[in-house]
Amino acid sequence: MSPDLYSADVIFTAEGKLRQEYFREKLTNEVSFRVCVSNEVWSIDGTSSQGGEGKFIQVFDGAQRSSATHFPGNLVSLTDMGNDATLRVDNTDTPDCLPPIGGGAIWLAYASSSKFSNRKSGLQEPTWFINLLFRDGRFSTPAVWERLEEPPFLPVSVSYFFDEARFKSFAAGEVASSQNYVQPGGLVKWANYQVVAVTNISGLLLPRVFELTVYAVRTGATESLVYKFSGELTAAYPSVNKDGIAHGFGAKTFVEDTRFLSPTNKAGTIRYATTNHSIPSTNDQATIRAAVRAKLSQAIADGNKMERKRTSATKRIIIVVLLALLGSVPFAFMLARRNRKK
């Protein structure tokens, strides 16, 4: 069936297990997850064998993505403001791949359909964690893919490739664009996602077993295996509970809101505590004022740094001049003595 001819709503819940293997760290992590999908809106929540009793929730509501951590009760008293949750808000429609949940592989398997429509190659954001710079900057890399032939047309395979020039320019702070996209043919494979087995749930073809493998790379070669994520579906339903796609607020939540961040505004993060279980609009006046204060605070801090640098530079110049003057004193004495002899 062609996805262009398919117009029915895609609504389902998938539950499963994900085994994460980190070969350099010699570490394994077992994740229990639940994914709720309603067309392009999705949530991923889970618990982790490495995450204690905490619960981790990511939600894309059609406008922004939130990433929340819920603390177990015995840790609430240790927080500065008595909050039982933290929540980060980003202008993105892809998951945060930070451990311990590392939602990238789960998102690929069940919630990524809209990102892989209409084409078979292009730029895609990595679905594993590289570092904070690449995550926050939404770095993308060349990829090729194939999709399942039945709704919801999820990817059956995705190969990611390492473009060294693109990687280095991004790390150096240069903004990469689609104009410098390099065809994967001459590039080294960086990661591979593969659906191993599928199942049909009320007309929806979903992965039953899937794998994401990530490799260390260098110029011209793929080296050792770095990560492997192996997932298995344990249950699926053609429905979503009423609270299935809800931002992960706690009774009191500390929020880090990055929606005002941009290449020209690196001080756009605002932070606040809330108990009202809602994310304010970027047009909200209080939110705008907070973003302006954050930018002004950073400008003042940058100005103080520049002033300290100028003061330090001035001090160095004065020292050099003094040293030069002191160095010229013996020469002046020598000239004076010669003049007296004449």
Q: For position 10, which CATH number holds?
A: 2.50.20
Q: Retrieve residue 179's tokens.
A: 């104009």
Answer yes or no: is 215 within a domain: yes
Answer yes or no: is 144 within a domain: yes
Three-state DSSP at 264 gives: coil
Please choose, from the candidates 223, 165, 229, 233, the residue with its C-alpha nearest in 3D space to the C-alpha of residue 197.
233
For the entire predicted model, the pTM comes to: 0.82
Question: What's the domain range around 12?
Answer: 3-237
Q: Retrieve residue 243's tokens.
A: 């609270």
What is the C-alpha to C-alpha distance for residues 78 and 82, in angstroms, rounded to an integer?
A: 7
Answer yes or no: is 302 within a domain: no
Q: Which residues contact 272 (CB under 8 A, 6 or more apart)?
A: 254, 255, 257, 290
Output the pLDDT for position 298. 58
Cis-peptide into 152, omega within 30 deg:
yes
**Strand duo 188-201 + 204-218: pairing:** antiparallel
Output the pLDDT for position 305. 53
Answer yes or no: is 339 within a domain: no
Answer yes or no: is 150 within a domain: yes
What is the C-alpha to C-alpha distance for residues 273 and 85, in angstroms, rounded to an integer?
A: 10
Total domains in the chain come to 1
Output the pLDDT for position 318. 43
Output the pLDDT for position 73. 73
Three-state DSSP at 16 gives: strand
Output the pLDDT for position 262. 79
Answer yes or no: is 38 within a domain: yes
Answer yes or no: is 98 within a domain: yes
Answer yes or no: is 186 within a domain: yes
Output the pLDDT for position 105. 97
Per-residue pLDDT tens, the chain, 342 aa: give them: 555 544 468 999 999 999 999 999 999 999 999 999 999 999 999 999 886 778 999 999 999 999 999 988 767 767 778 899 999 999 999 999 988 888 999 999 999 999 997 789 999 999 999 999 999 889 999 999 999 999 999 999 999 999 999 999 999 988 655 556 777 878 999 999 999 999 999 999 999 999 999 999 876 666 789 999 999 999 999 999 988 999 999 999 999 999 998 777 777 899 999 999 999 998 989 888 888 887 786 555 555 554 555 555 544 544 433 334 344 434 333 434 444 444
What is the C-alpha to C-alpha distance for residues 26 and 24, in angstroms, rounded to an integer?
A: 5
Output the pLDDT for position 324. 43
